[in-house]
Amino acid sequence: MATAEIKIGQVDDVQELHRTCLETVPDRYIRSRDDRPDSDNVCALAHIPVIDVGELPRGDELNKLRVACEEWGFFQVVNHGIEDELLDEMEKLTREFFMLPLEEKEKYPMAPGGIQGYGHAFVFSEDQKLDWSNMLALGVEPAFIRQPRLWPTTPAKFKETLKKYSVEIRGLCQRLLAHIAETLGLAPGTFGDMFGEAVQAVRMNFYPPCPRPELVLGLSAHSDGSAVTVLQQDMSCAGLQVLTNGRYKSVEHRAVTNSEQDRLSVVTFYAPAYDVELGPLPEFVSDETPCQYRRFNHGEYSRHYVTSRLEGKKTLEFAKINQTTTAPEETCGCI
């Protein structure tokens, strides 16, 4: 979809809206009643599985990882080997970026319909409901997906720190995928060999306080198009809601806001190379469990994902063999 064809209408910067001390929010941010954050169908943060990466693959930890992937598609990791100082520095510099004057942040604009730069991603029409958040999204690896003009030069150490951070997160993703392969009875290197020159991107989200948080969403409900997503969030004000739960699937989730405190997150997406062909592995297809998804090129799926608005797990229908039947909602392509 060419950006020239996309008209997204007026998209206000929500930090600037917050600074005007609004008592309500513009209509374009107000969700329908069944799409508001007071839904009962969410999972409490306290119940999300915790995986000790340092214990993998020893003892019961590998089984805990298998259960987390099967029943949740989402888990917290501890003892992951990334230094706290680096995590804190990345969070600090990200916050400093979002605190810059608007005219400085707008030097790195996200084009209408684009997915890199500062602004609102996944907006494709003038009447689409908007999320109460600002974001900075950047391609990291391979080098050809980077757009250097969109990498902020302020704060001064932002680029340098993001590069170090991304190397460490990439290593964590690779370790997790090796252990996830083991939980499936596969060789640890299965996914690493399959992925080729893996694609990595980062998105930083900032959610300012909202005068009517019960009417808006910080980020629309969706499931990610990546193989592994690593979320670092400001735990002083958690706002992620994990929606619903089936073998190893991408979980639907969304972000909410509050009226008192801002919230920050740094999200890394790790996926196969664009030229990799994906589809269910032969080990998981039988007469009892017939193939649910077609084979397709990952670049083809990625283009479909980034040119569709966030809408639950709708993008998975791209890969289903029969879109009129209800199939288990598994992570696309991996299993």
Q: Which domains does the chain have, with CATH numbers?
A: 14-37+47-318 (2.60.120.330)
For position 83, what pLDDT does the model report? 96
For position 333, what pLDDT does the model report? 32
For position 2, what pLDDT does the model report? 45
For position 152, what pLDDT does the model report? 97
pTM of the model: 0.84
For position 314, what pLDDT does the model report? 56
- Per-residue pLDDT 10s for the chain (335 aa) are 444 577 877 888 999 999 988 888 898 888 888 778 764 444 545 578 999 999 998 879 999 999 999 888 889 999 999 999 999 999 999 999 999 999 999 999 998 878 899 998 777 778 888 888 999 999 999 999 999 999 999 999 999 999 999 999 999 999 999 999 999 999 999 999 999 999 999 999 999 999 898 888 877 775 667 789 999 987 554 544 446 323 566 666 566 777 778 889 999 999 999 898 888 888 888 888 888 877 888 888 777 666 655 555 555 676 677 644 333 333 333 33
For position 244, what pLDDT does the model report? 31
| Alpha-carbon gap, residue 250 to 73, rounded angstroms | 6
For position 10, what pLDDT does the model report? 83
For position 300, what pLDDT does the model report? 80
